Amino acid sequence: MIYTFTLNPSIDYLMELDNLKIGDINRSKNEYIKVGGKGINVSMVLKELGTDSVACGLIAGSIGNMIENQLKLLNINSSFVTVKGNSRINVKIMADCETAINGKGCIAELNDIDKLCNTINTNDSDYIVLSGSICSGLDATVYSYIMEKLKGRFIVDACGDLFKNTLPKRPFIVKPNHIELGEIFNCQINSFDDAFKYGERLCLMGAMNVIVSMGKMGAVFVNGNEKYAIKANKIEVKNTVGAGDSMVAGFIHSIVNGADYKTALEFAEKVAENKISSI
C-alpha cells in the first residue's frame, strides 16, 4: 500500500486573471476550488493513474471537514487525526505571473503524530510519502520521527532541516527540486551535471535514491550505481502548482508496477508536464 502524509493540508482556491493589478479591484475569469497539500496532491495523481493510496494527515475545523469530504468524493481513502485550530485556505492567482498566498493552518503536538501513526499498520513493502510543510506546534524532526515509528520505504519531498533530518534514516527516495538542492549545499544548480554531483552527495548523506526536478530543464535520477537525465519538452505552462507532486506520483506508480528507475523517471516527467499544461 501507498500512504501519503500531509501535515498541513489545505483547500486551494485558484483564480485565473488576465493580469493582476495591485491596489485595485480585480475580477477573475475562472475559479477553481481543490483540496491540496503536497501529500494529498500525490494521492490525487495516483488515483488518476489508477493506483490506490491512503491520504494521511492532520485536519482541523470546518476547512478540515471540507478536505475530508472532498477526498471522499474523489474515492480516495483517508486517515486523519483532528487537531486544534482550522485547516488552511491557500489562494493561488494565475495571471501574467503566478502569485500564491498560503494560510497558516492548524496547530498540532507530537502526541497527535503518535495518534496518526497508530491509525495505520504499515510493513516493509509499503511506500510512505512524507511531503510538504508542517503545521504550527511541530518541529523539523517530525518526519524523521515518523520514520522511526513506521515501517516502509519512505519518499521525502520537503526542504531545509525538515528534509535534512531524514537523511540519516536512509529514505528510499528523496525529491528536492534544483533550487532546494542548491540551498542545501549553498550553491546554484544550473545543469544536469550539477544535479548529478550534489545528488550523489545526498546519497553519501543517507538517501538511497535521489530525484531532482529541474523545471524547464527536466529531471535527473541518481543513486550509488545509476544516473539518468530526462530533458523536458517545450510546452505551454498554465499552472505549476503540484508539478513536483505529480512527478513523485508518476515515479511511485511506475515502480509499483515493476518499472526500472530510468523508465520510472521518464514516466514521472511526462506526468509532471501534463500537470503544468493544464489548470
Catalytically active residues are 245
Crossing angle (nearest 10°) for helices 261-276 and 243-256: 150
- Cell output for 230: 530526462
Do 38 and 117 contact (CB within 8 A), yes or no? Answer: no
Q: How many CB atoms lie within 10 A of CB 45?
A: 24
Bridge partners of residue 265, in order along the sequence: none
CA-closest candidate to residue 177, choices 193, 203, 157: 157
Give the C-alpha distances (Å, rounded to integers) separating 54 from 74, 75, 129: 12, 10, 10
Judge whether 108 and 28 are in contact, CB under 8 Å: no
> Cα–Cα distance between 107 and 103 in angstroms, integer?
12
Cβ 75 vs Cβ 107: under 8 Å = no
* Alpha carbons 14 and 222: distance in angstroms, whole number: 35
Q: Which of 195, 137, 132, 187 is nearest to 160 (CA)?
A: 132
Q: Which DSSP letter does residue 100 get?
A: E
Residue 130: count of CB within 10 angstroms of its CB: 29
What span, in angstroms and rounded, lies between the C-alpha atoms of 145 and 124?
17
